[in-house]
Structure 1
Amino acid sequence: MSPAISFFLASISIAAAVVLPRQDITLAVSPVCATLGGAPGDINVGLPPLSSFSTIVTFGDSYTDGGVHDGSALGAPVLDQPNPFAGGRYTNGPVWAEYLANVAGATLKDYAMRGAVVATGQWPSLTGTKSSDLLTQANTFISQAGPRPAADSTLYVLFFGIEDYVLSHDNGDSDLSNPAGNIAFTILRLASSPVFGKNFLIIDNHGRGTETTAGANFKAEVFQSLASLRDYGLNVGFVDLSTVWDGVLGSSPGYQAFGYTSTSACLASTTTTDGSCADPDHAFYWFPGAPTTATHKIISDYIQAVWKKCQGYSF
């Protein structure tokens, strides 16, 4: 074999071991706009443009946890390997709320905490644990001293249901009516003294591509509560991420349409980055069930699409 041919074949072998540039991850599905009082779906009733918000306050679980849980500034979203948590986040970079706040030009005040449910009292298995819940997160925000963010320019986001769904499934598909009711109750608390919030967004992804009767009923009850909240003069929105998850994990359009190379998790363990996949920028999950920062960007993109496409859908 000639030296030229040997060099050519060696070059091919080296190239095969290198991750070649791929397309960016892009949103490949569109919102499914709903009607207030109808079946659950994406909706924006009265919420002003994202650019009008100077503050975004978030409550949630690991999907929203920015590594700081008291509304203060988040740490840098960078990995310090082999630690797999980017600045304390349950992912390899910024979470969706950071992307959204950046687009809006808003300050992010994050109270979310990994493993949080809506109300720990619903689940006996959490008794005596340090598990967080929505009720506690809201109490932390409400009880803080200092000036309140202006009501007209503050968006409150509640992203719950994933951990409750898991516990419900583990307990024979137990009913989730109480968590659904507590989400509406918390919004009314935040709309009352001393906060007087006006703008509220609920995000749902309880089943992450799966469903049970209890889960479907939970989403329906939360969505139906929006009509009553609207009667109080509140501006409300609902983002149903099942459209994204079904689009990626199913065949229509499928993960490749988004630019993903796999739906598998990049890391098998939550303890180390050792054994990481070759191309986390094109992986759907970082840990099993936990999005990569690329997917968090897609969540933000989907929220923005709902904002634009599903405005003013009411009775």
Structure 2
Amino acid sequence: MAGLSLSRAAVATLSVLSLGAALPTRQEAALANASALVVFGDSYTDNGNAYALTNDTWPADPAYFQGRFSNGPVWSEQLAQQKSLTLHDYAYASATTSNRISKGTTGSNADIRVPSLDEQVERYLARLPAPASQSILVLWGGTNDPLFNSTIAPQASAQVMRGLVHRLKSVSPAGMLIIGIPDLSLLPYGYFIDAEEQDRLHAFSVEYNIELSRIAKQAGAKYVDVSSLLQSFEYYGKGWQGVGLDAFGFYGSCLEGAYMEAPKRKCEDPEKRVYWDEYHVTRRVHELFAEKIAEVL
């Protein structure tokens, strides 16, 4: 049996190697110990800020859940609850990356200016609501840039995001996530625009997401590809049963007519739909977003 024994040095070496393999990285440890989720963005992330800004008048349809642009809590609320994190939500519906390059407005007449992501970040930095070292910071914006400015280049929006990432990295957060935008040409909104506009929105979405992925890699941040997630449901409903979803409705959304683009009606089972209205996803898909984002934390 002596031949099978290990020297003390060998045992010590193996112990160190085993311990090293089990130890989490510094970033993983910081994320695991985070206590706050701080989010910046637009209507996909807004948990009622724009609704309050419009004196509880927009969205106007009571089918929207408590001022969210969906039929239930958005992904950030669901993720914060799932991870037992305190949520600090700076997002506003209709927000762009910067009002300097694309002015975002909301309200029934689209005449109420909203804080863009760069303004949201400055508000956060002016008064940190929680220790940055215990906070996960998430940037999700750019969707509205080409909708409010038809000539904007994706590189211009990406340059704003690059600056915001740099600003936020300076406070040494526990972690940072950058979320890509959906392919805007595939939203139900695409039914109401011509082929040229669809091509423009598609090109912007693809090029902008490529830029965001690069920014995340360079900054050591995590990148979440929402566009691929949505397309993995197989557009127009093929194979969605795996996540409990059915095919699209007539206009691709559960709630039709919210923007007076069609006669008003609501589907019978929103839980089986991807899109709530022509721009926004349902509570169920926000849940899937939260699950996807949680995987990278």
TM over 0.5, yes or no? Answer: yes
Query: Quick one: structure 1 residues 160 and 81, their matched pair in 2 at CA, closer, same or farther if it must change by over 3 Å?
Result: closer
Specify the alignment match of 2:158 in structure 1.
Answer: 180
SS of the aligned residue for 1:285 comes to: coil
**Matched residues in 2 for 1:282 and 1:238: separation?**
27
**How big is the alpha-carbon RMSD for the aligned residues of Structure 1 and Structure 2?**
3.1
1:44-100 C-alpha deviation (Å, 9 max, x unpaired): 99455755321000000000000037xxxxxxxxxx996122111111111000111
Counterpart selection for 1:239 from 224, 230, 244? 224
Specify the alignment match of 2:175 in structure 1.
Answer: 199
Specify the alignment match of 1:56 in structure 2.
Answer: 37
Specify the alignment match of 2:243 in structure 1.
Answer: 258
Query: Quick one: structure 1 residues 240 and 148, their matched pair in 2 at CA, closer, same or farther if it must change by over 3 Å?
Result: same
Query: Quick one: structure 1 residues 118 and 48, their matched pair in 2 at CA, closer, same or farther if it must change by over 3 Å?
Result: farther
Query: Quick one: structure 1 residues 67 and 109, their matched pair in 2 at CA, closer, same or farther if it must change by over 3 Å?
Result: same
Specify the alignment match of 1:97 in structure 2.
Answer: 76
C-alpha displacement at 1:206, in angstroms?
Answer: 3.9
SS of the aligned residue for 2:274 comes to: strand
**Matched residues in 2 for 1:161 and 1:251: separation?**
25
TM-score (structure 2 length as normaliser): 0.71
C-alpha displacement at 1:215, in angstroms?
Answer: 2.8
Counterpart selection for 2:134 from 133, 153, 160? 153
C-alpha displacement at 1:148, in angstroms?
Answer: 4.4
**Matched residues in 2 for 1:81 and 1:111: separation?**
21
Is 198-207 or 147-156 further displaced after alignment?
147-156
1:168-223 C-alpha deviation (Å, 9 max, x unpaired): 6x33xx4121211111211221233xx44342100112424646333322222222
**Matched residues in 2 for 1:291 and 1:181: separation?**
27
Correspondence list, 1:108-127, <5 A:
108-123=87-102
**Matched residues in 1 for 2:173 and 2:83: separation?**
18
**Matched residues in 2 for 1:253 and 1:52: separation?**
40
SS of the aligned residue for 1:100 comes to: helix
C-alpha displacement at 1:131, in angstroms?
Answer: 3.4
Check the 8 A contact 1:85/1:91 in 2, yes or no: yes
Counterpart selection for 1:65 from 46, 57, 73? 46
TM-score (structure 1 length as normaliser): 0.67
SS of the aligned residue for 1:162 comes to: coil
Counterpart selection for 2:218 from 208, 228, 237? 228
Query: Quick one: structure 1 residues 97 and 45, their matched pair in 2 at CA, closer, same or farther if it must change by over 3 Å?
Result: farther
SS of the aligned residue for 1:291 comes to: coil
Check the 8 A contact 1:51/1:105 in 2, yes or no: no
C-alpha displacement at 1:129, in angstroms?
Answer: 5.6
**Matched residues in 2 for 1:277 and 1:258: separation?**
18
- The amino acid that maps onto 1:270 is A
**Matched residues in 2 for 1:197 and 1:111: separation?**
16
Deviating above 6 A after TM superposition, structure 1's stretches of 4 or more consecutive aligned residues are none
More helix by percentage: 2
Query: Quick one: structure 1 residues 206 and 278, their matched pair in 2 at CA, closer, same or farther if it must change by over 3 Å?
Result: closer
- The amino acid that maps onto 1:281 is E
C-alpha displacement at 1:287, in angstroms?
Answer: 1.1
